[in-house]
Amino acid sequence: MPALDEDHHVHSTFSDDAVSTPAENLAAARRAGLRRVRMVDHVRVTSTHVPDMLAAVRSLPPVDGLEVLTGVEAKVLDVAGRVDAPASVLAALGTPDGPDRVLLADHQLPGPDGPWSPRTVRERLHAGALRPGDVVEMLVTATARAVERTGRAQLAHPFSVLPKVGLTEDDVPDDLLDALAAVLVATGTPAEVNEKWACPGPRVRARWERAGVLLVASTDAHVAGDVGVYRTLAPAPLGGGAA
């Protein structure tokens, strides 16, 4: 079970679909009694806002007992493991000039020729041009290769694309789960247990925990009020109050 006094995926106004500033997210993390928070924003290969985002986070006042980490969230593009993030950002991962990690997201299916939309995948499945096993193998292969290419990754909402195409985590066989787990362990890559997308489920979590994968809790918050609030992972939201 991941530690629920941490939140490893929190978005700010540097993401187009989020409404809270880094300062508001910091205050929310403090109110929730968190000891660790990762501030993350979306990027694409053409993005230029990462230096400003990192500067805003690093200028926040320190809070006793709260460690602030950074990251960027980027889509895995294809089965080769290419990632939709600026090359300069990927090269700077883990350095003083870059984010701590890149969060690898499966918003679409990484196909052999680029990302396939959920609609495209459903149509190909319905037409018989694609089998469920093909979808799962492409997703796992692409994710593993992206982890190895980037070196400092975190899996964002693993397998969240599957329900969008009419599949579930039960369609992922144990051998593929184990193969991905081996890559995560070998590279020291954490995998989220994501509150917003309710994934991965109990079967995947248990199997990965036994394999030694580091599981971290995340809300994928896009508003400060959701930071550190776990409804599906805990019987009640975290709340330590103001220190």
Q: 217 - beta bridge partners?
A: 193
* pLDDT of the residue at 232: 87
Q: How confident is the model at residue 5 (pLDDT cuts 50, 70, 90)?
A: very high
pLDDT digits (tens, 9 = 90+) for 122-175: 999 999 999 999 999 999 999 999 999 999 999 999 999 999 999 999 999 999
Q: Architecture of domain 6-42+72-226 in CATH? A: Alpha-Beta Barrel (3.20)
Q: Give the helix/strand (H/E) hosting 218.
A: strand 215-218
Distance of alpha carbon 156 from alpha carbon 9, whole angstroms = 8
Question: What average pLDDT does this structure show over 180-197?
Answer: 98
**What is the per-residue pLDDT for 238?**
35
What is the per-residue DSSP string for 51-112?
HHHHHHHHTSPPBTTBEEEEEEEEEB-STT--BSS-HHHHHTTTSTTS-SEEEEE-SSEEET
pLDDT at 205: 97
User: What are the residues whose beta carbons fall under 8 Å from the beta carbon of 63, sequence distance 6 or more?
Assistant: 26, 29, 30, 243
For the entire predicted model, the pTM comes to 0.94
Phi, psi for 73 (deg, rounded to 5): -105, 125
